[in-house]
Amino acid sequence: MAAVTKHFSTTVLAALCWLACAAQSADAPMPLNKIGAVKLIIGDVKENQAFFEQTFGMKEADHYSDKAYDEPIMAFEGGAHLALFSPRQEAPLQKSAFPVALIYTPELEALVKRLQDAKRPARMLDAAQTGGLKIAIVKDPSGNAIELVERPGKPAVGGAKLIVNERQKAEEFYSKIFNATPGQRYKTAVYDEVLMNLGNGPFLALFQPLAEPALPKSKYPVVAIYTSEFEAVLKRVGEAGLGYREVPINRAGMRIIVATDPAGNAVEIISRPP
């Protein structure tokens, strides 16, 4: 258990360092590829949307829906979004015990107490094992584990955390397709993880559990990546041979595909102007 706790702290330290560097380069050219939304596969939309509204003060920024799914797009005042994706035609799948998203928030202890008082799964990690940082793990109503890190200022979506079965293969995929660059690496008897840098937004953590059996993957995306080099990315996805599907969209100038990484995670790729 100590090794798992250590993972949370080292991930956050690297994320904070990386975000600080990104803030210093605010005048740099717009990145070609960056995370636009962390996506959670959920059950009941109203219950989950109410949880993120009441817990974090997020608001609905957009909403997509058809016969196959219902998806409110939640947001803070700025930064990446949090998409709550509810499949209408896919049975619920077992959730990983490890976090699949990271959110920065102020006054973490008070937030955790409110959640505990409301009988929501939430726990603070031992400060002695987190380098003095305030970190908590909570679960949304659908059972997705969310890592919370206390940070002054406004709340923000800090990172997408993808569960993979072979970290090296996943790293090569994201490096080749999106020109993501590897940052901090961590390996224990419990996990093997690398933090990938994509543009000036949230990080992409590729997390391989070494003590958790492989779980079934949803066919629906767990992260959305914006790209201003859509045709080039499409070509590289095709060359990787892992397949993709085009998503019909009636918004002018926008194209979307869903590709599959080597671990079976579905990745939504959305065209965006430079």
pLDDT 10s digits, 64-103: 999 999 999 999 998 999 999 999 999 999 999 999 999 9
Task: Say if residue 47's pLDDT is above 80.
Answer: yes
pLDDT at 59: 97
Contacts (Cβ under 8 Å, ≥6 apart) of 190: 3, 4, 7, 209, 210, 211
Name the more confident of 22 and 109: 109
Q: What is the pTM of this model?
A: 0.86
CA dihedral 45→46→48→53, nearest 10 degrees, is 130
Is the pLDDT reported for residue 22 higher than 50? Answer: no
Given a cut of 60, whether residue 142 has pLDDT beyond it is: yes
CA angle 164, 243, 222 (to 5 degrees): 40
- Per-residue pLDDT, 21: 40
- Please give the residue that has the higher pLDDT: either 43 or 188: 43
Mean pLDDT of 228-245: 93
Indicate the fold that domain 2-32+43-215 takes in CATH.
2,3-Dihydroxybiphenyl 1,2-Dioxygenase; domain 1 (3.10.180)
Rounded to an integer, the average pLDDT of 148-163 is 95
User: What number of H helices and E strands is found in the chain?
Assistant: 5, 16
Element (H, E) at 174: helix 167-178
Residue 12 has pLDDT above 60, yes or no: no
Confirm if 90 and 122 have CB atoms less than 8 A apart.
no
pLDDT exceeds cutoff 80 at 18:
no
Mean pLDDT of 170-194: 94
226, amino acid identity: Y
* Residue 30 confidence class, pLDDT cut points 50, 70, 90: low
What φ, ψ does residue 197 adopt, rounded to 5°?
-95, 130
How far is 270 from 36, CA to CA, in rounded Å? 9
Question: What integer best gives the mean pLDDT of the chain?
Answer: 88
Residue appearing with tokens 């939430």: 122
- State residue 128's pLDDT score: 77
Residue 94 is given by DSSP the state P
Residue 90 or 28, more confident: 90
Query: What are the tokens at 108?
Result: 């973490």
